Copies of this chain bind each other. A is one copy, B any other.
Amino acid sequence: MVMDVNRRTVLRLSRYRKALQRFSELGFVKVFSDNLGEAVGVTSAQVRKDFSLFGISGNKRGGYQIDSLLETLQRILGKGRVQKVIVAGAGNIGRALIHYPTFEKEGIQIAAAFDIDPAKMHRKERIPVLSLDEMPRFIEENGIEIGIIAVPEIAAQEVCDRMVRSGIRGILNFAPIRLRCGDENVVINPVNLQIELENVIYFVHALGKNQDTAPVNDKIKVNHL
């Protein structure tokens, strides 16, 4: 009966935050739940329920003060201090992440990347690419809690194990494999780009065909879960 904080709630919170940033940049001062809902693609009731879950309250008839709401969301989402992150695998995905400047602006600092291929290593770069062997030490010395896995599927579980052993508490995993981790206190979120693409393909085909072949939901605009 008492709805609690789950993955989807927090994903929405991030979206609200992003929307608020834009509203703020546009010079708006206050916002109503239906503005936010519209911006993010949910109902206004959903917005209010989400906020109420975190004890966020606005003003009856006055909506929410953008600045203060933004600050609250930043705090909830841990944007108070810079969050250091490491990346395992300096290949296609790993490098894409390293070279994305927005992370830094948003308080996410990629402290280093790690690879086994000596050709990929660059100790002198602003974000150094080091040897995987140096990862445990680096994690411990810098108190890193979050790791991104961007190594080939075959190496992913091993890298995951090493990260967790060294103290990593949360992993964003790009390898198309379900990582197992004994420790219940470690969060592992998968990002499977192939599956996301296949999903689009499925629904395009499903919409294209007459609905005889397979049963299909009405509201297929799909978008975020």
Contact = CB atoms under 8 A, between A and B. Distances in A.
A225 B8 contact: yes
Interface string A92-113: 1101110110110010100000
A30 interface: no
Interface of A: 4-8, 10-11, 13-15, 18, 39-41, 53-54, 76-78, 83, 85, 92-93, 95-97, 99-100, 102-103, 106, 108, 145-146, 148, 169-172, 176, 178, 184-208, 214-217, 220-225
A145 B130 CA distance: 41
Given A203-B170, A203-B187, A195 B7 contact: no
B196 A189 contact: yes
Given A170-B200, A171-B200, A188 B148 contact: no
B204 A146 contact: yes
B108 A197 contact: yes
Contacts of A221: 184, 186-188
Nearest to A14: B195
Which of A10, A93, A192 counts the most B-chain CB atoms under 10 A from its CB?
A10
B205 A78 contact: yes
Given A53-B215, A76-B214, A170 B10 contact: no
Nearest to A202: B10
A17 to B, nearest CB: 8
B40 A178 contact: yes
B39 A178 contact: yes
B185 A108 contact: no
Contacts of A103: 194, 197
10 contacts: A10-B202, A145-B208, A146-B201, A148-B197, A169-B207, A172-B197, A185-B207, A188-B221, A189-B224, A191-B191
Q: Which 3 pairs of residues, A with B, have the shortest CB-CB distance?
A: A92-B96, A170-B204, A170-B200
